[in-house]
Amino acid sequence: MGKGAAGVVAVGLLLAGCGGGGGDGDGGQKPEGRERTATASAAPREERRPRVAVPAAFDGAKGWAVESSEGLSSPVYAPHAKEVLFLKNARDGKSTQVVARDLRTGDVRWTGAPVALPVSGRRGTVDGEVSLLVTAKGETDYAVVRFTGEKGGDGASKPRATTRLTVFPAGGSGSVEASRTFEFPYKRETFAAQDSEGVVHNFTRLGSRNAQPLAVDVVTGEQTTYTRRQLAAPSGVRRCTERRIIGQSDCDERAGIFGVSPRGPLASAFGSSFWLGGGSWHSGTSEPPDIEHTAASSLVQPYYLGGVIIADWSAGRNGAVRRYEVRDPGTGKVRVAVRCEGKRIDLDVGPPVPTLSGGRYVHAGPVVLDLRENKGYCFEDTEDRKRVTFTSVDAGRGIAYGTVPADRSGRPALPVEVDLAADKVTPLGPDVEPPAWIAEGVAAYVPKYGKRTWTSGFTAGFYPSK
């Protein structure tokens, strides 16, 4: 998420009502200087439906959608509660609240108590960004409203940096009060919620000027600020000492956390190795044989997802060859790995972030990993077919959705579905839109790449399987 403009809370809140030509275009507020009036030509609410062609497995005539005029934004899914969570801003822009809607029906299940946003400056404006995160502990989901920005200051004194996390338990009804609030005296946009352990953690590395790596347990309230000793690399971690010859410090001095497992924090430094803090193994213990250790190519990005470690290795210059693997956090052993050769990554954008579907499939770019069967699939360029970039996986059917890129003849990107077990790619109609994610047999369509709306006049849409 990019940095918010000073004093402009609408940017930070990603207001759905600010985009899309089919809605009111004002987030449900009255246009300044005039009253809103109904017109005879306005379509009845039940007739307003997004224009979308869904894959054949889903029913585009059923389901539900959120209009831009409702003022909801930032949709995220709470898998245990089976709810879609949104943010809804107050009219004055100085507070926001969580709205939880049933995944299948769209009915409102609960609404969080308003979360006051810190204000700064003599005029008391909100200077920062708000986002919505979800984590879980056991079978309970938690919504986390994250504000990062500034507070205080009166013109003579400077405002202070702040990051505030406000936690709500999901799965309730009626009006729900916040269960915990955490605040830290710095502005960081690197806080992320992992899908398990009830943890929100900060990607900051040791030695950073304003903060240290830390994690908070949203259930117990426990906060852990990790020290060099807690993130110490086991002996034998490759390339840590060699880096000193080019003026960089060793692993322990610049380590950061990339997740928190019950066995310890997942740590990495310099992108060349990873390990569990206080553990007995590191990534070199059972390192892939196809990794090339050169200054330009030996890079790895670890993630803690679905109770396992996902590692994205580069093998070849500029990431032209990539290897994804799943490792057991207890032993460090590789459960499944898949190698892809083809398009190199865009170094300005970086590697795709893995996404977990149905607790079983992890997809990232052209790769799908099956955590249940310990299988890996790569749909990179070959002599016979084009590269597939996946957007979602229907875990119940083993079908993945994505697109193949546009070609030089001017043909646009083509949507496809992939039968993973059969290794079969089937083109869909050119107007079909692949779902952004799929849960419990419901295809979800939500904004992408920082957009405020999904399609003209609508924030999101949800369509059941046939």
Q: Residue 274: beta bridge partners?
A: 268
- pLDDT in the model for residue 160: 93
Q: Which amino acid makes up residue 462?
A: F
Question: ∠ CA(325), CA(339), CA(438), 5° rounding?
Answer: 60
Contacts 24+ apart (CB under 8 A), 409-417: 415/55, 416/388, 417/55
Phi, psi of 9, rounded to the nearest 5 degrees: -70, -25
The β-bridge relationship of strands 127-137 and 108-112 is: unpaired
Count helices and strands in the chain by DSSP H and E runs: 2, 33
C-alpha 159/C-alpha 119 separation (Å) is 9
Q: Please report where in the chains the tokens 């009915």 appear, as a residue.
A: 107
- pLDDT in the model for residue 298: 57
135 and 116 in contact (C-beta within 8 Å)? no
- pLDDT in the model for residue 273: 85
- pLDDT in the model for residue 114: 97
C-alpha 210/C-alpha 162 separation (Å) is 11
C-alpha 218/C-alpha 200 separation (Å) is 7
Q: pLDDT digit of tens for each residue in the chain (466 aa)?
A: 333 333 333 323 332 333 333 333 333 333 333 333 333 333 334 457 788 899 999 999 999 999 999 999 999 999 999 999 999 999 998 999 999 999 999 999 999 999 999 999 888 899 999 999 999 999 999 999 999 999 999 888 999 999 999 999 999 999 999 999 999 998 877 899 999 999 999 988 887 777 789 999 999 999 999 988 888 888 777 656 544 444 445 677 778 899 999 989 999 886 778 998 877 788 887 766 665 554 444 578 899 999 999 998 876 655 567 889 999 998 899 999 998 876 555 544 456 889 999 999 999 999 999 999 999 999 988 888 889 999 999 999 999 999 998 877 777 889 999 999 999 999 998 899 999 999 999 999 999 877 888 999 999 999 999 9
C-alpha 89/C-alpha 447 separation (Å) is 17
- DSSP class of 431: T
3-state SS, residue 66: strand
Q: For residue 418, give every residue at least 6 positions away whose Cβ sits within 8 Å of its Cβ, in sequence order, or none.
A: 368, 379, 388, 390, 399, 400, 401, 402, 424, 425, 426
C-alpha 369/C-alpha 377 separation (Å) is 6
User: What is the chain's alpha carbon radius of gyration, rounded to the nearest angstrom?
Assistant: 23
